[in-house]
Amino acid sequence: MIVMKKAMPRRTFLRGLGTTLALPLLDAMVPSMTSLAATPAAPAHLRRLGFVYIPMGCDIARWTPPRAQTLDEMSMILSPLESVKQHLTVITNLELRNAYPGTHATSNASFLSAATAKLTESTDYHLGTTVDQIAAQQIGQGTQLPSLEMSMDLLSTVGQCDNGYACVYQNNLSWSSPTTPLPSEAHPRIIFERLFGEGGNAADRRAALKKRASLLDSVTEEVARLKNQLGPADRAKVGQYLETVREVERRIQKAENDVKDNALPDLDRPTGVPVSYADHARLMFDLQVLAIQGDVTRVITFQLARETSARTYPEIGVPDPHHPLTHHGNDPDKVARMAKINRFHVSLFAEFLAKLKATPEGNGSLLDHSLYLYGSGMGNPNVHDHTNLPILVAGGAAGKMRGGRHIRYEKPTPLANLHLTLLDKVGVRVDSFADSQGKVEGLFEPVSI
């Protein structure tokens, strides 16, 4: 596609009262007399890297694809990903050797650092810079937020949490330095305002909410002015994007009203968080879609649940608390219920990937132009090991990844090899990462989208 017109800057924003709204990539942002696929403004050069963490490992027998090399047949746990499997690669027999001795704290802490957590219950904790933050230092500096840290659990416990380890190791996936953990946010309203503006403390945000009905109301004139400058395709793209923003905002406001109208006390769930775990997770994933589409950030981490979580999942017929269920003692019934939780988490990730795939961008989709690692720092939770981790990579990496594959290592291989590979494919060049021994061969190949 050849575009012959003056280009709009890629970093174009709609500005309103207390609001700065980034726009998705438009044809109008492509420089004149250039090809959409070749221009630096094209999404092939918009490098996105995301990480989704699941706690307490999984039933690896029901996770592992039955065939080596291909995903022609999906496993029970991975079956919700059937519609996007051509964008997936499952990697079997990766390990986190530095996570031993096996604990919940070190599972979480080592997942993105592949480093050894210092055994301490105090503030002299020490880990390592995580892979997401190494990426953010390079590919995140041109965006509004260098990185975005998200979670599902609204708690900030301190002190000892697991076998003499400070709670900071379980609370935080991301570390910008060996001594600097980055807190994650589980409240959708706060994430929304971090992405699109508002700022201030809680009192300021409440006052601002009273002054405006929605984010988009404050940029109405800007939207009208912008649409007059765009062609039909771009007008439709902007309209769809803004409608998605409106829908996410509507769901946040509904969640606030639902909680406000609930007469039962709930000290663990601040206003604005959906009552249902699935609704909360979907909302957090939708916020990630908006953040990626608007190029607000290019690096995201998301903790789907916290290690030692006692959350129950009655919506899928599992009333048992998750953590005790993982200490199943090889009881077939308990293992089966744990596997249902594993599959439920995968199903939520599958919905997210489907939305990325359904969102056009440039010469492909958001999924084509993003990379996500999904997995856990624990393998078999019954014995707290860190070998044969449940790990998959999703996305297109701007045409560099061929999906539908199952890479099975004969011997335990460092997860750090995968981290090093992902860094390389988003343009971050480092010689090694933690205990890496090389890169994952065959994961990426030049292919057309």
Q: Please give the mean pLDDT across all residues of the chain.
A: 84
| Same domain? 105 vs 234 | no
- Decide if 201 is inside a domain: yes
pLDDT confidence of residue 379: 96
Residue where one domain finishes, among candidates 257, 272, 287: 272
- pLDDT bin (cut points 50, 70, 90) of residue 105 is very high
| Same domain? 316 vs 433 | yes
| Same domain? 305 vs 434 | yes
| Same domain? 165 vs 312 | yes
Identify any residues that bridge with 90 across adjacent strands, giving them in sequence order.
392, 406
Buried b (16+ CB within 10 A) or exposed e, 241-257: bbebbeebbebbeebbe
Domain count within the chain? 2
Using DSSP's 3-state secondary structure scheme, residue 157 falls into coil
- Decide if 250 is inside a domain: yes
DSSP string, 331-379: -HHHHHHHHHHHHHHHHHHHHHHHHHHHSEETTEETTTT-EEEEE-S-S
| Same domain? 148 vs 93 | yes
> What is d(CA 415, CA 113) in angstroms, rounded to the nearest whole number?
10
| Same domain? 33 vs 60 | no
| Same domain? 215 vs 332 | no
| Same domain? 87 vs 146 | yes
Structure tokens at 447: 């292919």
pLDDT confidence of residue 41: 41
| Same domain? 218 vs 171 | no
| Same domain? 309 vs 380 | yes
In percent, how much of the chain has pLDDT > 90? 58
35-44, 69-78, 428-437: segment of lowest average pLDDT: 35-44
- pLDDT bin (cut points 50, 70, 90) of residue 44 is very low
Of 105, 154, 135, the C-alpha closest to 268 is 154
- Decide if 429 is inside a domain: yes
- pLDDT bin (cut points 50, 70, 90) of residue 20 is low
- What is this structure's pTM? 0.81
pLDDT confidence of residue 255: 64
pLDDT confidence of residue 434: 96
Parent domain of 27: 12-40+196-272
pLDDT confidence of residue 247: 72
- Decide if 284 is inside a domain: no
- The mean pLDDT value for 260-286 works out to 69
pLDDT confidence of residue 22: 66
| CATH (domain of 146) | 3.40.720.10
Buried b (16+ CB within 10 A) or exposed e, 113-127: bbbbbbbeeeeebeb
| Same domain? 53 vs 100 | yes
| Same domain? 307 vs 247 | no
